[in-house]
Amino acid sequence: MEIPPGDQPLGAPVGRRVFLGLVGLGAAAVAAGGPLSAVLSRVQAKAAAHDPTGLSGLIPGGGWRYYSVTGDFPSVEPAAYRLRVAGLVDKPLSLSLADIAARPRTTVVRDFQCVTGWRVPKVRWSGVTLASLIEAAGPLPSATAVLFRSFDGAYTESLTMKQAMRSDVLVADTLGHAAVSSEHGGPVRMVVAPMYGYKSCKWLSEIRLVPRLVPGFWEQNGYDQDGWVGTSNGRSDAPT
């Protein structure tokens, strides 16, 4: 399998990357305002502590930001990639990219909205529903929540089992009509379409069924566990 162009290492010189990272942080702080600003400055300080270059967001155009709490865009050899579905299941799965691509596919088109205020209209994601993978693994009755792990080694997220079974919650390998790039969390990332962007774990490595909800990276830093667009985190974004 060929590595898509988006998965090549970033070519921009470090100075420019750091500059754009700082612009991203500044824009996030301005967009936040209000009661969230105190939380945001804490979480940004924490993100910066994980990121010796100060790089926490890049501005690639089209309204997107590229976010990484580690300050890095990790990549894997496509042939070596595996997604584990594990924890409280009958049949743990280890899926290659071809395994994922061969399963019944679902497409979702929805605005992508970050809790800091930026929004990309009508983003088309496709892949498989999280529900279909959970069903295939045979969830045990003791599983009440799902934990997501990233191969960046830092990021985690979680959903209740009820949220996880929604038809607009995807394990995505395609953005637009191309493979999800490394910057966007490829080869495989979560897309929790009805919630703010932080709920969608990039560089997905494991889907783990667990007995109790485990707060994710940003929840540990003050964001709401239930990150519904428009009603959570003290925001009132127009519904999309």
Ligand X SMILES: Nc1nc2c(c(=O)[nH]1)N[C@H]1C(S)=C(S)[C@@H](COP(=O)(O)O)O[C@H]1N2
Residues that bind ligand X (CB under 6 A): 64-69, 114, 150, 152, 155, 184-185, 197-198, 200-203
57 is an interface residue for Mo ion by CB under 5 A: no
Comparing CB distances to ligand X, the nearer of 106 and 150 is 150
How far does CA 187 lie from the centroid of its chain? 12
Least distance from C-beta 127 to Mo ion, angstroms? Answer: 20
Residue nearest to Mo ion (CB): 114
Residue type at 84? R
User: Which of these ranges, 54-62, 80-88, 196-204, 207-215, lies near Mo ion under the rule CB under 5 A?
Assistant: 196-204
- Check: CB of residue 117 under 8 Å from CB of residue 32: yes
Least distance from C-beta 139 to ligand X, angstroms? Answer: 24
Q: Residue 66 binds which entry of ligand X, Mo ion, none, with Cβ cut-offs from 5 to 8 Å by kind? A: ligand X
Backbone angles phi, psi at 47, to 5 degrees: -60, -40
Nearest to 233 by CA among 120, 119, 115: 115
User: Which of these ranges, 70-78, 94-102, 108-116, 207-215, lies near Mo ion under the rule CB under 5 A?
Assistant: 108-116
- Counting residues that bind Mo ion (by CB under 5 A) gives 3
197 is an interface residue for Mo ion by CB under 5 A: yes
Residue nearest to ligand X (CB): 197
Comparing CB distances to ligand X, the nearer of 45 and 140 is 45
Cα–Cα distance, 31 to 88 (Å, whole number):
40
Three-state DSSP state, 147: strand
198 is an interface residue for Mo ion by CB under 5 A: yes
Least distance from C-beta 57 to ligand X, angstroms? Answer: 8
Least distance from C-beta 147 to Mo ion, angstroms? Answer: 19
Least distance from C-beta 209 to Mo ion, angstroms? Answer: 25
Least distance from C-beta 69 to ligand X, angstroms? Answer: 4
End-to-end CA distance of the chain: 36
24 is an interface residue for Mo ion by CB under 5 A: no
Report the number of secondary-structure helices (H) and strands (E) in the chain: 5, 12
Q: Residue 233 binds which entry of Mo ion, ligand X, none, with Cβ cut-offs from 5 to 8 Å by kind? A: none
Comparing CB distances to Mo ion, the nearer of 22 and 120 is 120
DSSP 77-144: -GGG--EEEEESBSS-EEE-HHHHHTS--EEEEEEEE-TTS-EEEEEEEEEEEHHHHHHHH-B-TT--
Q: For residue 20, what is the enclosing H or E element?
A: helix 14-32
Three-state DSSP state, 49: helix
Residues in touch with Mo ion (CB under 5 A)? 114, 197-198
